[in-house]
Amino acid sequence: MTVREKPRVRELNLLRVFREIRAGGKETTTELIRSTGLSRPSVTSLVIELIELGWIEVVDPASDGQGGRPPQRFCFRAQVGTLVGIDIGVHRISVLLADLAGEVLFSRKFDVEPTATPTERLAAVDAALETTLSEADVSADAIWAVGAAVTGPVDADGRTSMVSPLPDWAEVDLVAHLAQRFSCPIRVENDVKLALLAEHEWGVARGASDVVFILAGQRTGAASMVNGQVVRGHGGAAGEIGALPAVRWHTAIERLHPLTGSPASLKESERAAWTFEQAQRSNAEAKKLVWKYARDVATGAAAVVLTLDPEIVVLGGGSTQWASLWIAEFSAVLNKSVVRMPEVRVSTIGGDHVARGAIRLAMAAVENSLYGDKLLPPLLPAATV
């Protein structure tokens, strides 16, 4: 401890230096002095303590090309823990494994019948987790936190008791079910809200404070962020604008289904993609259906934009693979319907955006447990935290 430095002040400074290293990647002592405003002796002492705690490590410095000795760099030891992110959808279950910085280490996708009962769907989740952990050679006991995404409003207990596209899901206690396998913190949240979290952490909404995220795929949904915080609402139902029939989100994807000549063998989940592909081939009927779809999505988006006046609207979900076919019509309808037109951006994260958001949720559980108000040693968090 530096001279006359009080214990609580040192704790706060330790957290400050740690967060700078964690956020910045590979930092030097000089860069830490500049970003924290602390003295060189203080930064040096705090870095030594962080190394001893096991949170950071020295990385080999890169040569400056001048023949001089390059400065040491310090980085967050994200590899000390592993996180699980699960996306439990109507048609598919995705499982990701990531380090504490959210870097994906392993990913798998598994199909599930859309009509599966809760028992069948939970069995599919168990099988997906078992397969993924086994293939990655990671034990359930080594997982530091689990984040899980489900469709429908999620309450404070992780239950989807109001409404969900997952058949008969209202009675499922997903936290309790996953706790049979994992002894770490388990968090459950709505899939669209988690997609927004992923966009804010790694995607096109990074650095923005006020964001509306529109999920455009087999299902249409919305989530919003105000002042950098995802809006959940009193019971977790904020953003469920699709419950209002006038916005036509419940039937938006069906606009793409009745294309003349569609193969009878197509699954319901494949029909929209087939219509988009035909529109891409300049099929006039398909183009008209795609434009109608864009208008339906824009109608609901306008309601959210008028309510929140966001800086950015982010479009994500399966339909954005063909965004070039419909984003112009979406933007035109939105612009006519709102007072101030926000910037419209298309997600670049890809199909794992919800599962990535589940990883971010798991990251937050570790952050709150181990480096919230006080930095604790890097040990697996307790489930009760």
Domain 7-76, classified CATH 1.10.10.10, yes or no: yes
Dihedral over Cα of 253, 254, 257, 260: its sign: negative
Structure tokens at 283: 């099929």
> How many CB atoms lie under 10 A from the CB of residue 191?
26
Structure tokens at 225: 């962020």
Structure confidence at residue 384 (pLDDT): 53
Structure confidence at residue 104 (pLDDT): 96
Structure confidence at residue 385 (pLDDT): 44
Residue with tokens 């419940």: 250
Domains 80-195+353-370 and 208-346 fall in the same CATH topology = yes
- Please give the CATH number for the structural domain made up of 80-195+353-370: 3.30.420.40
Contact yes or no for 147/85 (Cβ under 8 A): yes
Q: What are the strands of the beta sheet with 27-28, ordered from one edge?
A: 27-28, 73-76, 56-59
CATH class in words for 208-346: alpha beta
DSSP letter for each residue of 261-272: T--TT--HHHHH
- Give the β-pairing of 143-150 and 27-28: unpaired
Structure confidence at residue 142 (pLDDT): 94
Cα distance between residue 226 and residue 208, in whole Å: 9
**Which pLDDT tens digits describe the chain residue by residue (385 residues)?**
454 557 788 899 999 999 999 987 788 999 999 999 999 999 999 999 999 999 999 987 665 556 567 788 999 999 999 999 999 998 899 999 999 999 999 999 999 999 999 999 999 999 999 999 999 999 999 999 999 999 989 998 888 878 888 889 988 999 999 999 999 999 999 999 999 999 999 999 999 999 999 999 888 999 999 999 999 998 888 988 888 888 889 889 988 888 888 888 888 778 899 999 999 999 999 999 999 999 999 999 999 999 999 999 999 999 999 999 999 999 999 999 999 999 999 999 988 899 999 999 999 999 988 887 788 888 878 775 4
Cα distance between residue 375 and residue 16, in whole Å: 10
Structure tokens at 284: 């006039």
Residue type, 235: G
State the DSSP code for 166: S
pTM of the model: 0.89
3-state helix, strand, coil in the chain (%, to 5): 45, 20, 35
Structural domain boundaries in the chain? 7-76, 80-195+353-370, 208-346
Structure confidence at residue 68 (pLDDT): 62
Cα distance between residue 276 and residue 111, in whole Å: 22
